[in-house]
Chain A
Amino acid sequence: MKLNLKQLSSEERTARLKAALDAGDRLGLITSIDGDQLIMLLLSPGKRSIDCYETPVAGGTYKSATAMVPQAHWFERTTWDMFGLVPEGHPRLKRTHLHEPYTLTSPPLSHERRKAIEKTIQPESGDRRHAGDRSYHFLGVEGQGVYEIPVGPIHAGIIEPGHFRFSCYGEIILNLEIRLGYVHRGIEKRLSEVPWQRGRFVAEAAASDMPVANSLAHATAVEYLLQIEVPRLALYLRSIALEIERIAMHLSDLGGLAGDIGFLAIASSMGRLRGVALRMGELLSGNRLMRGFICPGGVVSASMRVAEEIAQLARQLKQELKPVVAFYMDNQVAVDRMEGVGVVRSSLAREFGLVGVAARASGDRYDCRNYWNHGAYPNVDLEPANETSGDVFARAKVRISEIETSLKLLINFLDDLKEGSFLVSLPDRLEANSSSVAIVESHRGELIHFIHTDARGEIQRYCIKDASVNNWTALAIAVRNNVVADFPLCNKSFSLSYSGHDL
């Protein structure tokens, strides 16, 4: 939706945030536009309203909210890294994106004036907040018999890069610190450099196991700034694509989980079923992952002919899924491996603002499809998945139930398709000096795209907040007191994105 930036003084900021969360609202994101201010999005799903607060930041520092509101911690670290804004009093201020090899002397997203100020700051001895100091120190756990296992950034299989530092006592994980940022490609900056009409190709590459979610969020946010209405057929096709993507990825994650347990018959069966889902995507868009399908104004192509074929495949998938799920969930050995492992309590889920599958496995029913405008939502009746035990098993069950819901939705959408136009022509310019936001329920959870335009109607700031940003910390906490060998299982059950976080 279009946003009105409301002014909020730095004294009131933390209190307002705390009060909103206590009232059941959610923290969408904290970032900056060009390094002169903090932007804070507070979401009220119940009221379907979003408040966007702007707080001027003088002198490049502000008071950290992390001690009061733990879920602010990662946003504040990233804002420091990308804009040079220092959160005073942050308990563990470390870089998130720009590692030691970077020789940048100023933060990449701040405007030229701020960059100049930044350059004049001398690195005082011991003041690690200077832009040039990129050293990183892992939290050390000390004591007799405590040892560290460093893993990554390159992992054993076909996996994205990231570094895990385990501090263990025997087989037990005492602490896990996750260092990300290895695939930081500069997506947000690039999105403010290319003409907005081409932004979708960059947005899609943010995390391409979810190109539909990212292109949908991009298109929706851009459409608010163009003030256009998208035809009904396009909205439906977008939702169809999003559900296909969810089905394919949930199947792939369930398969991966089975693989980590060593239940290879299920892993390969899930792989085969995912093939059916990809086939649907291919029919819809000509591309297995549906890249390039959604564009501002609608979708690039539409054929009523394939709708019946896709519906056929969806019904086939529904049938074929049943026995595989039964073999999986009735297998006592498999269940034993998943139950009670990697538990996230519901209080923690709330405190860290978890989203997506991880939240719904810990008793939170937040599902963006019920609240925020994207595709054909929120005008569908959707019962969100809900489990409460917060363990690997709960997350697996949430995925299974969501595949079933998605198949149902998919078939309904396909039945309900009506011929019509699927693309409208676009104005040349985005509205100047405006902000908009789009929130999409990707298969990982809440995905936010935020755009701010300058006086010429060019994109000045493009911010993406992947669901993984909220959830990585939960993984680090969930594995505490579990055995090292269960880490792959926990990791897979969260199925977070490295590229989506790193951008």
Chain B
Amino acid sequence: MLRLLKYLINRGIVTNKAVPELLDDNITGFPKATDVPCVSECQACTESCPTGAIEITREKSIAIDRGACITCKECIRVCPSGTLINDTSVASFAFTREDLFRPAPAKAETGPDRSIFSKSLAVRVVSTGCSACDLELAAASNPIFDMERFGIHVVASPRFADALVVTGPVPKSMHEPLLSCYEAMSDPKLVIALGTCAISGGVHKNGYTEANGVGPLLPVDIFIPGCPPHPWQIIKGILAARRLNGRIRKEDQG
């Protein structure tokens, strides 16, 4: 036992101190449109996208829906003009579905952080997808990322959870279990859609299993896109709950 303790102490602290603003350059983030003009009439990116996440609007601007993007990098690869680049912002989350169409801020604004969740947030995880999002969420609590130091901890029952984190596209057989888990949580509560599937259904949407994400079932407070999101992006997104001042839903107040 003593040898083990000695070994552990010798390893030192492996945790990264601060949450970075950007991921390493070589990591695949979301595509971002720059000011470099497109080759005229080019539709290469929209044609290459497997989920229809990228669109060239009538005004010739490029709209990218991070909530549908599976970060496959195809669009960047086929872009002949270099208009699209890899954006490694960590603050890729959004509070509304519409905000996912705007580029992620390079630097996250630091809010007042004074909500009832600012010191501690108990999250309950409901997994309904391919489990990669779950792996990255689990990684966010490992010694390297260590989200528990920010007061975020995963709990084993909805009864003592503040936030419901949903991963995966929520196929039909999971509709009812998800709703009953939400019901079992006490107010005030938050819903966090983690991963592109949970936000839009991703590659699964509009199939016979009705796996179209959390949106059709529950009101979502925080959207964390990515397939799967990087642990830093997950931590940044969940930390954003500190800015939500404990919403209490009208229908729940009765």
Contacts and interface: CB of A to CB of B under 8 A. Distances in A.
Interface of A: 99, 101-102, 104, 108, 153-154, 156-161, 181-187, 189-190, 194, 198, 201-202, 205-209, 211, 252, 265, 268-269, 271-272, 274-275, 278, 282-283, 286-289, 291-292, 300, 323, 327, 497-499
Given A289-B228, A291-B227, 18 more contacts: A101-B172, A102-B172, A108-B208, A154-B181, A159-B127, A161-B177, A184-B171, A185-B168, A189-B207, A189-B208, A194-B50, A205-B227, A271-B143, A282-B24, A287-B71, A292-B71, A300-B73, A499-B129
A336 B216 CA distance: 49
Interface string B68-82: 001111000100000
Contact of B4 (A185, A287, A327): A327
Interface stretch (B33-41, B98-106, B134-142, B185-193): B134-142
Interface residues of B, number: 60
B226 to A, nearest CB: 10
Given A153-B174, A190-B204, A288 B136 contact: yes
B110 interface: no
A198 B128 CA distance: 23
B175 A271 contact: no
B125 interface: yes
Contact of B209 (A158, A186, A268, A289): A186
B50 A208 contact: no
Contact of B142 (A185, A208, A268, A282): A268
Contacts of A156: 156-157
B126 A154 contact: yes
B61 interface: no
B194 to A, nearest CB: 10
A161 B172 CA distance: 13
Given A156-B156, A292-B28, A185 B177 contact: no
Contact of B28 (A101, A181, A205, A287): A287
A498 B174 CA distance: 13
Contact of B131 (A101, A153, A160, A287): A160
10 contacts: A101-B175, A158-B138, A160-B127, A194-B50, A205-B132, A211-B132, A252-B135, A287-B71, A289-B132, A292-B73
Interface stretch (B6-14, B112-120, B235-243, B246-254): B6-14
Contacts of B51: 201
A101 B181 CA distance: 17
A414 to B, nearest CB: 18
Given A272-B144, A499-B131, A182 B173 contact: yes
Nearest to A327: B4
A182 B130 contact: no
Contact of B173 (A181, A274, A283): A181
B50 A201 contact: yes
Contacts of A187: 204
Among all A-B residue pairs, the 7 with the closest Cβ atoms:
A208-B132, A156-B156, A208-B130, A186-B207, A271-B142, A99-B173, A186-B209
Contact of B174 (A158, A161, A208, A271): A161
A498 B208 contact: no
A268 to B, nearest CB: 5
A208 B228 contact: yes
Given A184-B173, A265-B4, A265-B8, A207 B130 contact: yes
A124 B41 CA distance: 60
B173 A160 contact: no
Nearest to B209: A186
Most central of A194, A211, A274, A286 by chain B CB within 10 Å: A286
Contact of B129 (A157, A183, A194, A327): A183
Interface string B197-236: 1000011100111010000000000000001101000000
A102 B208 CA distance: 9
Contacts of A99: 172-173
Nearest to B73: A292
A183 B4 contact: no
Given A154-B126, A272-B144, A186 B171 contact: yes
Interface string B16-50: 00000000101110000000000000000000001
Contacts of B90: none
A272 B137 CA distance: 15
B32 to A, nearest CB: 15
Nearest to A289: B132
Contact of B207 (A154, A190, A207): A190
B67 interface: no
A272 B173 contact: no
Nearest to B26: A286
Most central of A99, A156, A160, A205 by chain B CB within 10 Å: A205
Given A184-B171, A283-B26, A497 B131 contact: yes
B154 interface: yes
A282 B172 contact: no
Given A185-B211, A323-B7, A161 B70 contact: no
Most central of A183, A184, A211, A283 by chain B CB within 10 Å: A183
A292 B69 CA distance: 13
Interface in B145-193: 154, 156-157, 168-169, 171-177, 181
Contact of B202 (A198, A205, A252, A291): A205
A158 B137 contact: yes
Most central of A102, A154, A283 by chain B CB within 10 Å: A154
Contacts of B126: 154, 161
A469 to B, nearest CB: 16
A422 B7 CA distance: 42
B28 A161 contact: no
A269 B12 CA distance: 12
Contact of A286 (B5, B27, B227): B27
Contacts of B129: 183, 185, 205, 208, 499
